[in-house]
Amino acid sequence: MAVFTHSVGGQTWRFDSLKEVMAKASPARSGDFLAGVAASSDGERVAAQMALADIPLKHFLDEALIPYEDDEVTRLIIDGHDRAAFDPVSHLTVGGLRDWLLGDMADETSLRALAPGLTPEMAAAVSKIMRVQDLVLVAQKIRVVTRFRNTMGLRGRMSTRLQPNHPTDEPAGIAASILDGLLYGNGDAMLGINPATDSLSSICAMLEMLDAIIQRYEIPTQACVLTHVTTSIEAINRGVPLDLVFQSIAGTEAANASFGISLEILREGHEAGLSLKRGSLGNNLMYFETGQGSALSANAHHGVDQQTCETRAYAVARHFDPFLVNTVVGFIGPEYLYNGKQIIRAGLEDHFCGKLLGVPMGCDICYTNHAEADQDDMDMLLTLLGVAGINFIMGIPGSDDVMLNYQTTSFHDALYARQSLGLRPAPEFEAWLERMGIAHQRDGRVRLGEQLPPAFRQALAQLG
């Protein structure tokens, strides 16, 4: 195990492992202090970042942060590494990779080719020595395009997950939120419900309802009920119409075990979803959610800093060719990301690292009510991620999730980002909005305050 040193202001700092220098190079966040792995001072953090910048990328292939024999995620990373794809940057240090990423040689084509050659630890390392503008600049070069019933991730597009959660899973309440969101041009990423109960009968009823809505109005989108992957498998076995298979994932085997999953269980879910052949444009059908701090909260981080653990989760995700991956950035709470500044930085890191690894990244731009953050912080992160080329964000009535009790982005927020940044929905969904009369054909703008489309007037009347 290598030792790394760097001197700052006449003091020499020593880091006894790659794991230690990675942790202490991380920008300050509450979770790393909670875990006891953070730098003790700004001086030590700078020294760690300088030491990290000088480490050759090849070293990451020789020193695993979590031992190969102890962790199936480590084995997935090492065994799946593409040496040929890595070759163009194999001579670089972490700092050299940063410089290369910021240069003109790193374009959309070269970055797509590089993705399988990078390990999550390499991506996490370079992100730790990048400014906010660096994270935005590189991420906006990268496009990860996926398809199921529509196309996600195209340049100039930003999609939304319409999240019609209800505290009692009441069908009329869910339907009303879906109608509201569609009228604001939301829902092209998916109609995705976090169920209040994990009852199989309730899950199946929601899946049937979502499918009926999509079929009735011929909406080019996909549905997802965010239940455990084993519940989705059972629903599929019962013949229930299920589009996207969901699961929360983390970056260590032990953290995934705390979710009741393994790589084998995820494989079974993926194969079950594929067996339905419900995608009309493609077969990307897994939907994963992640978040910095999940491994630490399960005491399954192995002394690895929370941002690196998070990035390792993207190796799990990309193995299953997902439709979308969502970092629920501020949801776990201030114990892990204390305030708006830490949440903003984490959201940009996650998006950058995921895209660099070839993962179709979205972000639930959110915070809990006891965090030192507010909606202004979320507006800043939303704008930065819009510039950075985020694949999708959340759309929730009034930005206040009444079931999960946290604050996120609203239907209106998506319209703000699209209008301000010149972004549009997925092309198939945009054409549907125009055909239904929800959006103007001349410019795609949503017809806010204008007469409802006839089909939706009837639906609203039925809701009472």
**What would the DSSP string read from start to end of 15-53?**
E-SHHHHHHHHSPP-HHHHHHT-S-SSHHHHHHHHHHHH
What's residue 402's pLDDT? 87
- For residue 356, what are the CA distances in angstroms to 42, 246, 282, 311, 335? 28, 22, 22, 10, 27
Q: Give which of 411, 412, 429, 424 is closest to 217, Cα–Cα.
A: 429
What's residue 460's pLDDT? 61
Domain that holds residue 91: 4-141
31 and 113 belong to one structural domain = yes
The verdict on residue 417 lying in a domain is yes
151 and 98 belong to one structural domain = no
Q: Known binder of ligand: residue 403? A: yes
Q: How far apart are CA 157 and CA 193, in angstroms?
A: 23
330 and 265 belong to one structural domain = yes
Q: How many domains does the chain have?
A: 2
186 and 327 belong to one structural domain = yes
Q: Known binder of ligand: residue 307? A: no
Q: Known binder of ligand: residue 306? A: no
Residue 133 tokens read as: 């503008």
128 and 73 belong to one structural domain = yes
Which one of 82, 115, 141 terminates a domain? 141
Domain CATH number, residue 207: 3.20.20.70
The answer for residues whose C-beta is within 8 angstroms of residue 232's C-beta and 6 or more apart is 225, 242, 245, 246, 269, 272, 273
Q: Known binder of ligand: residue 215? A: no
- The H or E element spanning position 6 is strand 4-8
216 and 105 belong to one structural domain = no
Q: How far apart are CA 464 and CA 459, in angstroms?
A: 9
Please provide the DSSP assignment of 356-379 as one string: HTT--EEEE--B-TTSB--HHHHH
- What residues are paired with 461 via a beta bridge? none
The verdict on residue 463 lying in a domain is no
Q: How far apart are CA 156 and CA 386, in angstroms?
A: 10
Domain CATH number, residue 91: 1.10.220.70
Q: Known binder of ligand: residue 226? A: no
Q: Give which of 295, 292, 278 is closest to 242, Cα–Cα.
A: 278
Buried b (16+ CB within 10 A) or exposed e, 177-193: bbbbbbbbbbbbbbbbb
The verdict on residue 73 lying in a domain is yes
Q: Give which of 119, 120, 124, 121 is closest to 81, Cα–Cα.
A: 119
Q: How far apart are CA 313 and CA 295, in angstroms?
A: 10
Structural contact between residues 429 and 399, judged by C-beta atoms closer than 8 angstroms: no
Q: Known binder of ligand: residue 247? A: yes
The answer for residues whose C-beta is within 8 angstroms of residue 341's C-beta and 6 or more apart is 377
290 and 342 belong to one structural domain = yes
122 and 174 belong to one structural domain = no
The answer for residues whose C-beta is within 8 angstroms of residue 390's C-beta and 6 or more apart is 158, 351, 361, 362, 363
- The H or E element spanning position 318 is helix 306-318
Q: Known binder of ligand: residue 40? A: no
The verdict on residue 460 lying in a domain is no
Q: Known binder of ligand: residue 52? A: no
What's residue 446's pLDDT? 84
Residue 187 tokens read as: 């829902």
The one-digit pLDDT tens for each residue of the chain (464 residues) are 789 999 988 899 999 999 999 999 999 999 999 999 999 999 999 999 999 999 999 999 999 999 999 999 999 999 999 999 999 999 999 999 999 999 999 999 999 999 999 999 999 999 999 999 999 999 999 999 999 999 999 999 999 999 999 999 999 999 999 999 999 999 999 999 999 998 999 999 999 999 999 999 999 999 999 999 999 999 999 999 999 999 999 999 999 999 999 999 999 999 999 999 999 999 999 999 999 999 999 999 999 999 999 999 999 999 999 999 999 999 999 999 999 999 999 999 999 999 999 999 999 999 999 999 999 999 999 999 999 999 999 999 999 888 888 999 999 999 999 999 999 999 999 999 999 988 877 667 787 766 666 666 666 666 55
The verdict on residue 368 lying in a domain is yes
What's residue 10's pLDDT? 86
Structural contact between residues 246 and 226, judged by C-beta atoms closer than 8 angstroms: yes
The verdict on residue 453 lying in a domain is no
Structural contact between residues 308 and 73, judged by C-beta atoms closer than 8 angstroms: no
The verdict on residue 456 lying in a domain is no
Q: Where are the beta strands (DSSP E) in 249-369?
A: 286-290, 324-328, 361-364
228 and 299 belong to one structural domain = yes
453 by DSSP, 3-state: which? Answer: coil
44 and 108 belong to one structural domain = yes
206 and 94 belong to one structural domain = no
Q: Give which of 427, 382, 450, 438 is closest to 136, Cα–Cα.
A: 382
Look up the pTM and report it. Answer: 0.96
181 and 300 belong to one structural domain = yes
The verdict on residue 461 lying in a domain is no
What's residue 306's pLDDT? 97
187 by DSSP, 3-state: which? Answer: coil
